[in-house]
Structure formats: structure tokens, C-alpha cells
Amino acid sequence: MDTLTLGDVEITRIVELGPKGLARQLIFPDVDVEHWRRHEHWLAPEFFDPAADELRTAIQTWLIRSEGRTILIDTGIGNGRERPYMPFFAHLDTDYLGELAAASVRPEDVDVVICTHVHGDHVGWNTYLSDREWRPTFPNAEYVISRADFDYWNPENGHPTRSGPRMQNVFEDSVAPVHQAGLTVLWDGDHYDVDANLRIEAAPGHTPGSAIVQLRSGTDRAVFAGDLLHSPLQIAEPEHSPCFDEDEEQARVARRRMLEWTADHNALLFPAHFAGPGAAEVRREGGNFAVKEWATWR
């Protein structure tokens, strides 16, 4: 199991679904293939399959041990979901809880769940199905969710969204049950401090309430990027947005700001969907950025 320590914080990579190929044009319909060919020498084969014209992505979350507490950053897709417009997310039967158990974590051990944003592949294991009812998977945890995303995706509020049908049932089965159980912490403003090591920073654009998590412990720094990045191509060319961004221009601003901070603070970058090593250090290169070094896990 992939684990490393930064300062006083231990980070473990919990993979729900290993690397899978998804059609490039499905994820980045507005990015010409030439951009991918230009970077093929370092994107292939772990992140881009030129022959199949597919991106290689993973569904993973981050288990954090900080100040004596057990924290999850995002919770993946979850099992048994009805996702009529996202078949890749529907009717799964993964061993995510078994992966947590392998890291010596039971559901009742989790103290905090941080949802970087409310999308179906980041909130799914918030709940599990029991006796035809969705119940909180982590009964002793507080679920930290931005109020902006909670309100935006709540179907009762009727917001028109770019994602549209792809979000069908997500709020109802993965967010509402933990809120009804009194377990949510809805935060406002530009940041929310989880503890002395971890701060949630607002990074709107991918969704109205999307966020990143900054880690500062001793001299070490890291950023858990959520979905500000879907492919390493966006490190080299951060102007590119996937089809899932609600506000592409706002997301570009947030992405560049995050990459600037990461490069300037020699921070380790943990995106949600990178296959291969899954995390990297980045450096400035011209007006953009480049991978300086991929993470080494123990």
C-alpha cells in the first residue's frame, strides 16, 4: 500500500478503481489531439494511450493521519449506485472498505471526511445501502462540505448546471443522508482549517464550491488538488479544461493559482485521478509548469 510521511502527517493512497482508459474526446472534447501528441513522450503510457486515443485515469482517495485523527479526502464512487447518465459509475461492487481495512482503518475510526467537491466520484462512499436505505458509512465522522456546493447541487434549489443529468441521484444518495444524520459541517468563505496541518482552500470553477486541501507540517508542503487537474497535460498546459468544469474560466484561474503555489513552495501535488505514481512535484517552466519529480511511495 502506498504511504508516505510529510512532517507529522501520514498519507496513504486508497485506490477504489485502478487505471482505466477513457476516450480522450469524451473528457477533453475541446482540446485538439495535437496537444496530446506534443507531450506524448512523457504522458505515454501511464497517462495517455496514443494507439487507443485514451486517457489513463484512476479513482482514488487519500487517507490522512494528522494530530491523532483519521481523515479521508474524498470518498470515491461507492457501490450500488444508480447513475443512468454515468454508466462507468453505476452498480459498482468494489472493495474500497477492504482497502481501508488493509490500512488498519474501520469505518467507525474515521473522524473527518473532506469532500473537495460534490461530484459522484468524490462523495460516493459517504454512504452505503442498508435495508434499502442510504446510511452514513463513517458514523463517527464529520463530513466537511462547502456550502456553495451543497446548495448548488441540492435538487430542491433547481440550479441549472452544465453537468446536468450526469449528477442524477448523487445528492440524494451520497450527500442528503449524511446531512439528515446531522454529520455535515458546511463551510463558507475562502478557507476552513481542519487542524494545524490541514487547510481547505476555496478553488471554485470545477464546481462553485470546489476546493483544494493544503498541507503544511514542519518544512513540508502538499496540495490535494481534487479535480482541478484531470490529466498531467494540464500541468504543462493549464489553460485546458475537461467537460466537467462548471465554469471553465474560473477553473483555469484556480488551477494556475494552485500550480503557482505548489511550484513556489516545493509542495507535493496529489490530484484525484492521476494514474501511475499519482503525485508529483512541479516546477515553473516558461509561463507554465512541468513535472519535476514523481512521488516515491514506501
Give the CATH number for residue 239: 3.60.15.10
220-226/211-217 β-pairing: antiparallel
Task: Give the pLDDT score at 256.
Answer: 98
Cell readout for 50 is: 496514443
The contacts of residue 61 (CB under 8 Å, 6+ apart) are: 14, 16, 72, 73, 74, 75, 76, 125, 272
Q: Give the Cα separation of 141 and 178 in Å (integer).
A: 10
Domain that holds residue 221: 3-294
Q: Is 282 exposed, middle or buried (0-12, 13-18, 19+ CB in 10 A)?
A: buried
Number of domains in the chain: 1
* Beta bridge pairs of residue 23: 54
Contact 55, 48 (CB under 8 A): yes
Task: Compute the Cα dihedral for 41, 282, 53, 77 and give only its sign.
Answer: positive
Residues paired with residue 11 on neighbouring β-strands, in sequence order: 4, 64
What pLDDT does 163 receive?
79
Q: What is the dihedral of CA 105, 111, 116, 122, to 10 degrees?
A: 40
CA distance 150 to 123: 12
pLDDT tens for the 298 residues of the chain, in order: 899 999 999 999 999 999 999 999 999 999 999 999 999 999 999 999 999 999 999 999 999 999 999 999 999 999 999 999 999 999 999 999 999 999 999 999 999 999 999 999 999 999 999 999 999 999 999 999 999 999 999 999 988 777 778 999 999 999 999 999 999 999 999 999 999 999 999 999 999 999 999 999 999 999 999 999 999 999 999 999 999 999 999 999 999 999 999 999 999 999 999 999 999 999 999 999 999 999 988 7
Q: Summarize the chain as % helix, strand, coil (round to 5).
A: 25, 35, 40
In degrees, rounded to 5, the angle at the alpha carbon of residue 275 between the alpha carbons of residues 128 and 119 is 40
* pTM exceeds cut of 0.85: yes
Q: Position of cell 461507492?
A: 78
d(CA 281, CA 154): 36
Q: How far is CA 50 from CA 24, 28, 230, 234, 290, in A?
A: 10, 15, 17, 17, 20
